[in-house]
């Protein structure tokens, strides 16, 4: 009696294995691994990936770290995807260096790994990178600020509100891009804060949120109340900086520029709180990524980088209602239609 | 009545030896104290003294280095503004730590309360005062749950609030979809939510209502802790819950009320947070729990409960504020601030241990 039960159990298990194997081989499955599932940027990314996966008949599984910087959960997610027999992984890495060994394991197991938004270190650790050109995003707002100030750009007083003390690549690229665009000698382009230009009042960190933006702006205003240009890592930091400026009655004298293109941010551009912002397209990154995985599964072909760059550029557009000469831009109406979050 | 009678009786023979011995009543004070011992004794008697001395010293040093850029009415009140949230949340944390507990969920409760206030007022169109009451109710409920689990189910406060931190934060993100409500929308539809951002100017000094709220809250709690039965019971529960129980304090009820009040103070912090940053942001205040514990520890309160003054917490928060602004004005890398605050935390506990020796 006992024996029959056991045999039956084994038989069922064996049948299950037999049926399960071809089932997973028939459909294409893909993984999306983001830094968090709470940041609107990644929420939008997931939306884009889910919609595209549904359209192409790809099974999508999404994973995320618990907080920004939680690399362990991401490594566990990669291992799960390998075990699950996925065809490809879309990854926004928290730790761009530390995750490389896990990515190598996945590639060895025959998965296509595409880095979204954040390039790995080294960048060719992934099969491809779909991202915003953050240096260009910075350059656009730098150029716009310089052109808008005109002759006054020569004796501008600039505050730079960055992300975190660790200087992650996205932070460095936007900061240095802004300086390049504004016409400041950037020194070492991989480092924030080594510039000697007297127009720079100072750098401070914001953690990319309103609270940090406000405190950082207060600190720099205390250093020099004459600040008239503010570069912010993202729009929440810009909103916080604006509150600090408003508290001292300087909000009308200062030009704030930012990067991201989230819906509240674009609305702030429309109302003149932020002068201009560089908009990035997380939805596009994710949907292109799913298409690439589907193509790889069908034909074995891997995506190629944009000509002249070591990654696939998903585009960036300057959003402003005060276009400056020589700097291509879209207005807030178009920006609102494409905004996220 | 009986003693004078006893004194008049003639000494028994065997008691004669006592006549030559000391007649002094037993006492703790020794007369042969060195200056250092006297100082130690003074510090033991006034627990807010050490942080106050450190605060004045750091103000002097940064003032000497930076001059009027730092030592002006404007920048000194700016420090107050920058620590207002930490100070309010630190007050909630102080109450918990005085009961020998710890609350890791204070920051999360603050953010959730602020998000509820914003959502009710903007997305549900509820009158702003009611939306604020709603936020306070959420804070109180979170605190009540903490208190119930600690007092009735007898779970360690560290574990309870570690769990609550995650639960409340996740609820906050799920509920709000992490959408920020913009400052301009609040100003147009629910300006009362930004109440604590408004300010009074006296010359160069700027006092936001948030700063005033923090100072008033600390003063009220200081009075309550020192001069009411509830306050003294709170110290007693933190010092020795069994002794407090025997002395007739209802320890369970006490703990539940402390955690609930802490939750309500967190909601006040959430309201003040909206004033500070203008908008309602679900990602704000992520480190408020650590910052509040830092303020409490640097402020000389004992993590083992029952010892320390809430004024010390305020000084502790201000020390962190002075260091942060001072170092940023000098232009150092932000990492130096963290490093020095870390040193301060360890130094504060070391000094606390040294002062305790006076009682041992």
C-alpha A68/C-alpha B283 separation (Å) is 11
Q: Helix, strand or coil for residue B282? A: coil
C-alpha A2/C-alpha A101 separation (Å) is 47
Question: Would you say A290 and A270 are in contact if contact means Cβ atoms under 8 Å apart?
Answer: no
Q: What is the mean pLDDT of each run of 10 residues along chain B (360 residues)?
A: 51 69 66 78 85 94 91 92 96 97 97 97 95 98 98 96 95 87 93 95 93 97 96 95 94 97 98 95 88 95 91 96 91 85 92 76
pLDDT digits (tens, 9 = 90+) for A188-197: 999 999 999 9
Q: What is the pLDDT of residue A31?
A: 95
Q: What is the pLDDT of residue B209?
A: 97
Q: Helix, strand or coil for residue A262? A: strand
* Residue, of A7 and B209, whose pLDDT is higher: B209
Residue A279: count other Cβ atoms within 10 Å of its Cβ: 28
Q: What is the pLDDT of residue A43?
A: 85
pLDDT digits (tens, 9 = 90+) for A275-291: 999 999 999 999 999 99
Interface contact flag, A273 B184, Cβ < 8 Å? yes
| B219 closest CA partner among B132, B154, B283, B310 | B310
Q: Helix, strand or coil for residue A278? A: strand
Phi-psi region of B238 (alpha: psi -120 to 50; beta: other; left: phi over 0): alpha
Nearest by CB: B325 against A219, A247, A271: A219
pLDDT digits (tens, 9 = 90+) for A45-64: 999 999 999 999 999 999 99
Measure CA B26 to chain center.
37
Q: What is the pLDDT of residue B45?
A: 82
Residue A26: count other Cβ atoms within 10 Å of its Cβ: 7
Contacts of B283 in chain A (CB under 8 A): 38-39, 209, 236
Contacts of A215 in chain B (CB under 8 A): 82
C-alpha B44/C-alpha B27 separation (Å) is 17
Contacts of A341 in chain B (CB under 8 A): 179
- With 60 as the cut, is the pLDDT of residue A149 above it? yes
Angle between helices B334-356 and B35-45 (to 10 degrees): 100
Q: What is the pLDDT of residue A18?
A: 45
C-alpha B166/C-alpha A67 separation (Å) is 11
Interface contact flag, B331 A268, Cβ < 8 Å? no
- With 90 as the cut, is the pLDDT of residue A327 above it? yes
Q: What is the pLDDT of residue B97?
A: 97
Q: Report the sign of the C-alpha dihedral through residues A173, A177, A178, A183, in that order.
A: positive
Report the chain A residue with the minimal C-alpha distance to residue B170. Answer: A38
Give the 3-state DSSP-derived string for A303-338, with helices as H, strands as E and coil as C: CCCCCCCCCEECCEEEECCCCCCCCCCECHHHHHHH
Nearest by CB: B328 against A204, A207, A271: A204
Tell me which DSSP letter residue B16 carries: G
Question: Would you say A116 and A131 are in contact if contact means Cβ atoms under 8 Å apart?
Answer: yes
pLDDT digits (tens, 9 = 90+) for A215-246: 999 999 999 999 999 999 999 999 999 999 99
Quote the tokens at residue B46: 């006034």
| B334 closest CA partner among B348, B323, B347 | B323
Contacts of A39 in chain B (CB under 8 A): 178, 283
Q: What is the pLDDT of residue B11?
A: 59
The average pLDDT across A107-120 equals 94
Place of tokens 């009308």: A252
The average pLDDT across A267-279 equals 96
Quote the tokens at residue B169: 């934060």
- Residue A40, min C-alpha distance to chain B (Å): 7
C-alpha B260/C-alpha B164 separation (Å) is 14
Q: What is the pLDDT of residue A17?
A: 46
Task: List residues of B whose CB lies inside 8 A of any A CB.
Answer: 69, 74-75, 78, 81-82, 85, 173, 177-180, 182-184, 197, 199, 206, 273, 276-279, 281-286, 324-325, 328-329, 331, 333-335, 338
CA distances for B262 relative to B116, B195, B214, angstroms: 18, 21, 14
Report the chain B residue with the minimal C-alpha distance to residue A201. Answer: B331
Interface contact flag, A209 B199, Cβ < 8 Å? no
pLDDT digits (tens, 9 = 90+) for B212-243: 999 999 999 999 999 999 999 999 999 999 99
Quote the tokens at residue A6: 């056991």
What whole-number percentage of chain A has pLDDT above 90?
77
Question: Would you say B289 and B142 are in contact if contact means Cβ atoms under 8 Å apart?
Answer: no
CA distances for B206 relative to A182, B73, B75, B278, angstroms: 34, 8, 9, 17
The average pLDDT across A10-19 equals 50
Q: What is the pLDDT of residue B78?
A: 93
Q: What is the pLDDT of residue A7?
A: 60
ipTM confidence score: 0.76
């Amino acid at each position: 009696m006992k024996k029959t039960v056991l045999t039956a159990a084994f038989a069922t298990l064996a049948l299950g294995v037999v049926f399960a194997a071809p089932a997973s081989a028939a459909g294409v499955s893909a993984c999306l691994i983001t830094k968090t599932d709470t940041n609107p940027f990644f929420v939008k990314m997931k939306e884009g990936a889910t919609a595209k996966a549904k359209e192409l008949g790809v099974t999508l599984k999404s994973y995320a770290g618990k907080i920004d910087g939680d690399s362990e959960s991401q490594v566990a997610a990669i291992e799960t995807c390998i075990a699950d027999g996925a065809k490809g992984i879309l990854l926004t890495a928290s730790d761009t260096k530390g995750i490389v060994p896990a990515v190598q394991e996945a590639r060895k197991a025959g998965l296509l790994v595409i880095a979204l938004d954040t390039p790995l270190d080294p960048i060719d650790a992934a099969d491809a990178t779909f991202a915003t050109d953050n240096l260009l995003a910075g350059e656009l707002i730098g150029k716009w600020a310089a052109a808008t100030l005109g002759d006054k750009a020569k004796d501008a007083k600039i505050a730079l509100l960055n992300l975190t003390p660790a200087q992650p690549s996205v932070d460095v690229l936007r900061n240095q891009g802004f300086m390049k665009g504004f016409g400041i000698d950037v020194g070492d382009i991989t480092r924030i804060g080594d510039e000697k230009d007297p127009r720079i009042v100072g750098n401070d960190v914001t953690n990319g949120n309103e609270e940090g933006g406000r405190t950082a702006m207060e600190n720099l205003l205390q250093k020099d109340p004459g600040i008239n240009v503010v570069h912010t890592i993202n729009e929440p930091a810009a909103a916080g900086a604006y509150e600090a400026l408003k508290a001292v009655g300087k909000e009308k004298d200062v030009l704030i520029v930012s990067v991201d293109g989230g819906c509240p941010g674009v609305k702030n551009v429309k109302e003149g709180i932020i002068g201009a912002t560089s908009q990035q397209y997380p939805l596009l990154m994710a949907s292109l990524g799913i298409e690439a995985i589907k193509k790889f599964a069908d034909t074995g072909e891997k995506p190629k980088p944009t000509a002249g760059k070591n990654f696939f550029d998903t585009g960036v557009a300057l959003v402003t209602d005060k276009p400056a000469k020589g700097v291509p831009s879209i207005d807030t109406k178009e920006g609102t239609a494409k905004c996220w979050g | 009545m009986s003693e004078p009678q006893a004194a008049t009786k003639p000494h028994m023979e065997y008691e004669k030896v006592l006549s030559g011995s000391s007649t002094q009543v037993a006492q703790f004070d020794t007369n042969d104290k060195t200056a250092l011992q006297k100082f130690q004794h003074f510090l033991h008697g006034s627990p807010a003294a050490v942080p106050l001395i450190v605060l004045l010293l750091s103000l002097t040093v940064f003032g000497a280095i930076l001059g009027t850029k730092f030592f002006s009415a404007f920048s000194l009140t700016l420090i107050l503004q920058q620590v207002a949230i930490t100070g309010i949340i630190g007050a909630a944390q102080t109450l918990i730590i005085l009961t020998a507990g710890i609350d890791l969920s204070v920051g999360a409760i603050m953010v959730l309360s602020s998000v509820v206030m914003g959502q009710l007022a903007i997305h549900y169109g509820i009158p702003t005062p009611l939306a604020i009451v709603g936020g306070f109710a959420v804070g109180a409920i979170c605190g009540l749950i903490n208190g119930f689990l600690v007092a009735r189910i007898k779970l360690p406060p560290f574990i309870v609030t570690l769990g609550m931190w995650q639960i409340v934060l996740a609820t906050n993100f799920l509920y709000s979809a992490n959408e920020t409500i913009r400052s301009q929308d609040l100003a147009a539809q629910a300006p009362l939510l930004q109440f604590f951002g408004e300010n009074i100017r006296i010359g160069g000094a700027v006092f936001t209502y948030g700063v005033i709220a923090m100072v008033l809250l600390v003063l009220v709690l200081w009075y309550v802790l020192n001069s009411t039965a509830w306050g003294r019971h709170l110290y007693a529960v933190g010092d020795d819950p069994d002794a407090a129980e025997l002395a007739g304090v209802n320890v369970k009820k006490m703990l539940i009320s402390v955690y609930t009040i802490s939750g309500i103070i967190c909601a006040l912090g959430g309201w003040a947070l909206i004033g500070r940053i203008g908008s309602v942001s679900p990602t704000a205040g992520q480190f408020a729990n650590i910052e509040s514990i830092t303020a409490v520890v640097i402020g000389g309160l004992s993590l083992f409960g029952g010892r320390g003054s809430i004024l010390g917490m305020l000084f502790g928060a201000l020390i962190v504020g002075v260091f942060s602004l001072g170092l940023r004005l000098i232009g150092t890398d932000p990492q130096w601030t963290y490093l020095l605050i870390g040193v301060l935390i360890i130094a504060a506990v070391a000094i606390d241990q040294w002062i305790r020796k006076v009682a041992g």
